[in-house]
Structure 1
């Protein structure tokens, strides 16, 4: 089985297919063909038949709805208010937006695609180095894998079996925020050396309007995490609620 996986990986076969083929081949050595087929099908189904794992596609769907429904841009505008006074404000905005978006969508990939897709053209227009912009986005996007709700923590709790998803969510805040602050520190240091500064700050009227627009989007964090920690619903149910919330908010926007 192990040699089969190794050979298939060297041949460029995807990991999941390599493991599946090698496991089935090894099973043929100890079971008849019919028994191997039946056992393989049962084990694949049992591995996928998990109520907790349903949270992952739901949170990813919520992230896609946020990106296409106008929620992501409002979170980015809110992040600008927080980071506009720091060196390299657009880079800092990218980090803060990834932390906010990732904490809602639960996916680092969805966060990188949504925030990077919006911020990259703006940073290019402001003469930011594309490599620097990409590095900041790549380094900060995985904060969504730690700041709850996190797909990685859901998978770990499912595999471990006896681990509470709520407890993991609470444990993810500090390292996730520290990761984001660390990226902001390095990005700010590099941006200051390169002379990336803000052109202007938003006036009081703009600030209030941006905050007012972002409040409904930020409330999703309160609803999802508050409901899980309060025992109102499970992580999987929270992911479905996040989808409905994103859909309704996107229609309103």
Structure 2
């Protein structure tokens, strides 16, 4: 039954995508067609409708629209410029210092906004012209910006980690947030290493050293923005509020900050809220649709069959993890990160837990894999935005991105095969 159901599910789903049916609708149609091969129509439709409703009945999911609203407020709130100035002070007189400031700016802004696209747009729009003025190759500058943009999907607070928490059966959001720090920082450092080598070889200019008074003023300007991380993560770890409540606190804080900077007016709020509603609606529809598919797969035994198939190839955990990495990297290139997490977590999680891998470790590995898809063709959203901001074609930035891809995949392998990179901080905090 599992083989037949799996073939029907995959064929119908791919057929829907080929004829350009939206992915959430494709998921529901494929799930319904599959379950109709087993159950009567009335029972199948009733159960599917029930799963759609129950799939959204989660207090944790309330954090998603709040973090989205917080990110949009931040993107419109003049915060990116202050973080860039702070990043430029931190990198000092390193070779290719503006490139390093771009990477650090993406890490800071991306972690606050929780969006690789927002980071690529906000930081790239400012850093691109600065680097061009200093004699940097625009293709290199765009590659630096694109390669480091997804770090905010891993460094908390991150909306996609909340989605993984839900679909994995309740993995602690706080633990996932803490676990994302080291892998996200390693991604950024890997990009900085590549940037350093290229900048050294091409003799890109070094920024002038700023005085202590200027550096101190820049730090003071950045403190209000950086405090968001302290408030959100500190509040969660200190037990002051839950991740969902922290998201609401983040909205209130970023709203006050944007008003204080006078970059957002009350007249802007209807447009900002409407944008939040639109993005949230897409995500929630995906969550609801994926709840149906998860139930269909569980009912037909597809995850168990796939687990047996993969375990039949090898019983060596190293080989299995390598296979899963290859599969997830491929999935990331053709599918957006949210539906990929929703669809493939129920399939792959039982496989890795069968040989003792912690769901927390797998979650970080999975998000890291799929985040790479944000900067790879054909559907890499951060890739397209970063190239567009730089006024370049996709073909122009792919070659400069290759050394960054190599360094990021090296980090992925480290995170995959050294669990402590993901697990050490959660364990230190008692998770």
Q: TM-score, normalised by structure 2?
A: 0.55
Do the aligned residues in 1 keep the contact of 2:92 with 2:207 (CA within 8 Å)? Answer: no
Identify the range of structure 1 (52-61 vs 137-146) with the bigger mean alpha-carbon deviation. 52-61
In structure 1, the residue matched to 2:121 is 113
2:152 to 134, 144, 158: 144
CA shift in 2, pair 1:147/1:26, >3 Å:
same
In structure 2, the residue matched to 1:219 is 227
CA distance in 2: counterparts of 1:82 and 1:72, whole angstroms? 15
Identify the range of structure 1 (91-100 vs 19-28) with the bigger mean alpha-carbon deviation. 19-28
User: What's the offset of the Cα at 1:162?
Assistant: 3.5
1:3 to 4, 7, 11: 11
Do the aligned residues in 2 keep the contact of 1:228 with 1:235 (CA within 8 Å)? Answer: yes
User: What's the offset of the Cα at 1:14?
Assistant: 3.5
Q: How many residues align?
A: 253
Identify the range of structure 1 (76-85 vs 21-30) with the bigger mean alpha-carbon deviation. 21-30
Structure 1 unaligned runs (5+)?
Answer: none
Structure 1 residue 93 and structure 2 residue 101: aligned? yes
CA shift in 2, pair 1:50/1:117, >3 Å:
farther
Once the two structures are superposed, the pairs formed by residues 161-240 of structure 1 within 5 Å of their partners are 161-240=169-248
Do the aligned residues in 2 keep the contact of 1:105 with 1:111 (CA within 8 Å)? Answer: yes
Partner of 2:21, secondary structure, is coil
Do the aligned residues in 1 keep the contact of 2:151 with 2:188 (CA within 8 Å)? Answer: yes
Q: Deviations over 1:78-109 (max 9, x none)?
A: 00101131111111011111111122222323
User: What's the offset of the Cα at 1:125?
Assistant: 2.6
Q: Deviations over 1:33-74 (max 9, x none)?
A: 554444333222222232212323322221221121111211
Structure 2 unaligned runs (5+)?
Answer: 1-8, 262-431
CA distance in 2: counterparts of 1:98 and 1:214, whole angstroms? 14
In structure 2, the residue matched to 1:25 is 33
Do the aligned residues in 1 keep the contact of 2:103 with 2:148 (CA within 8 Å)? Answer: yes
Identify the range of structure 1 (194-203 vs 75-84) with the bigger mean alpha-carbon deviation. 194-203
Identify the range of structure 1 (30-39 vs 223-232) with the bigger mean alpha-carbon deviation. 30-39
Do the aligned residues in 2 keep the contact of 1:59 with 1:107 (CA within 8 Å)? Answer: no
In structure 2, the residue matched to 1:70 is 78
Partner of 2:180, secondary structure, is helix
In structure 1, the residue matched to 2:409 is none
Do the aligned residues in 1 keep the contact of 2:155 with 2:177 (CA within 8 Å)? Answer: yes
CA shift in 2, pair 1:42/1:130, >3 Å:
farther
CA shift in 2, pair 1:54/1:121, >3 Å:
farther
CA shift in 2, pair 1:113/1:11, >3 Å:
same
RMSD: 1.9
